[in-house]
Chains A and B, each alone.
Chain A
């Protein structure tokens, strides 16, 4: 199947810039539109266009090209360059595709959860957030990363706070997220400043070249590295820095939670990979030490402790939020191994988890839409009342646990194999233990939903009442994809291997 020739040449050539500029400009347009329906249509078209463009870019990357787009025709390292290679092209497509799928869900969900006058600006903020995340992923300039990081973060604070009309705790959660998120971004920018002092450049490729020429640089580079890791760690909810995440995910509108859970932490994780393995070479002494001791430790702690916390939550969305922190731990474990196989498995889990969590949060949003259900206790009889929604939720849940023939199994299996090949048998044990905890927290919800009778209202059992089609389609697309990957994972493993190849190109990673 060769779709690439169908793309006009200019679309591919300017693809990287278009994917960022389109949502950035139309975000402003949406904010002043009066009609929410018009804003929704604009959002749908723009996110769809981004998905199409980034798919074209992804295909050219698979064909073996690296795209360097010089913004405004200024030559790097003086101008800002957008660099797309095997590492960020899949994330670019993932974010824009999830944004498109999520937007389909917007009509029922946003109408139910956001105040009438705020819906069009809500879509505007959403488009800004998409632009920020896509910008973070494509840009090859370290300071530009900070700018896009803040574009996406500030619009995310607004989006989370929009949940206030449904759940006032969204305000406190957004405020906490704002404070921690700003600290994270500021620490990141301190790190970039230190790197600028050391190398005199902001272009990431140039930085990488200069740093490897001076063998890792002086203490200034070391300090910069520390600041960047901690700053990005806050953004990607690395275990002890995750405190903003459960509140933000649990109280934001469902629409926002779906998008955040599948993309926001993933973009930050991509940046961590980029800085740890491309800008800094993992052969530098301090980089190796941080990867092996710090990243692995927080990964394992996150996998076990966050899973354990997920077991004890009464709120279904909080359970899944803690589970997200645990899944970030899996991805970090892959980074911690610093082998090509481990990196590939971690990257694979990044993509798979985005699909799985997307499907799960979409289903939770549908439960709230029909019955206002948020607590696990209230899941009673959902298997009979909303069979299709519960079906997608079940597939997502099984995939999260890592049952064979699901996406979760593929990435966890690859991760365990990579750990074993690395001689880390204890890590295999940790992966198993965290998966057992996943069985407990997901199984608890599934048991209540399938094996307890529906609640009775006025002596009659609640009748079957399925979610609207616009909600069912996105969640089944994502749930179906996670099964498809479980059956045939070759194409996505190929993409992950391509990303691992970019990460190992510096030569500091064991093959």
Chain B
């Protein structure tokens, strides 16, 4: 049991971070703390994507021309490696490369996270200007009174 956890420690890190973030979002009443929790939560997903792209004992995915060779359709080795990926060539290489795709994907997600955080913080600034507080329960109390204004009940 414990061995599995240590073997997959990167997933353990991701899960712990994810749950910490989610708990912070739900448990704190302070809007800034909620946004911090949200960022931690999102960061855990970034880590998850980055770890799945990593291949054990693999090098960064930069083709080394001298060591690579490709196999064409008729089965003969050619020296065309690194020049064309598609077509009739199937790459055969003894070098293990990490998978760059998840890393590229997560660059996008990081940008999205930054944008979300920026909008969130801007909203909190506006909330503080209008309500004079950033505690969620106080905002709810103010709104509750506001909702009752003008009703006969």
Residues of A with Cβ closer than 8 Å to B? 75, 143, 146-147, 150, 154, 157-158, 161, 164, 168-169, 171-172, 174-175, 178-179, 182-183, 185-186, 189-190, 193, 196-197, 202, 314-315, 375, 377
Contact = CB atoms under 8 A, between A and B. Distances in A.
Nearest to A167: B146
Nearest to A150: B112
Nearest to A161: B123
B130 A164 contact: yes
Chain B at the A interface: mostly helix, strand, loop or mixed? helix
Interface in B6-40: 22, 25, 31, 34-35, 38
A424 to B, nearest CB: 35
B126 A147 contact: no
A416 B115 CA distance: 44
B109 A146 contact: yes
B127 to A, nearest CB: 5
Contacts of B115: 150, 154
B71 interface: no
B42 interface: yes
A186 B123 contact: no
Contact of B127 (A146, A154, A175, A179): A175
Contacts of A161: 123, 126
A157 B45 contact: no
Interface in B28-65: 31, 34-35, 38, 41-42, 45, 48-49, 52
Q: Which of B49, B112, B126, B151 gathers most chain A CB within 10 Å?
A: B112
Question: Which 5 residue pairs spanning A and B have beta carbons closest together?
Answer: A150-B112, A175-B123, A168-B130, A171-B127, A182-B116
A185 to B, nearest CB: 8
Contact of B131 (A75, A157, A168, A186): A168
Contacts of A315: 147
A169 B140 CA distance: 9
A175 B31 CA distance: 8
B143 A172 contact: yes
B80 interface: no
Contact of B151 (A158, A193, A314): A314
A193 B45 contact: yes
B49 A193 contact: yes
B130 A196 contact: no
A189 B38 contact: no
B116 A178 contact: yes
12 contacts: A150-B115, A154-B112, A154-B116, A161-B123, A168-B130, A178-B116, A179-B34, A183-B22, A183-B38, A190-B45, A197-B52, A202-B101
Contacts of B42: 182, 186
B96 interface: no
Contacts of B109: 146, 189
B44 to A, nearest CB: 9
B119 A158 contact: yes
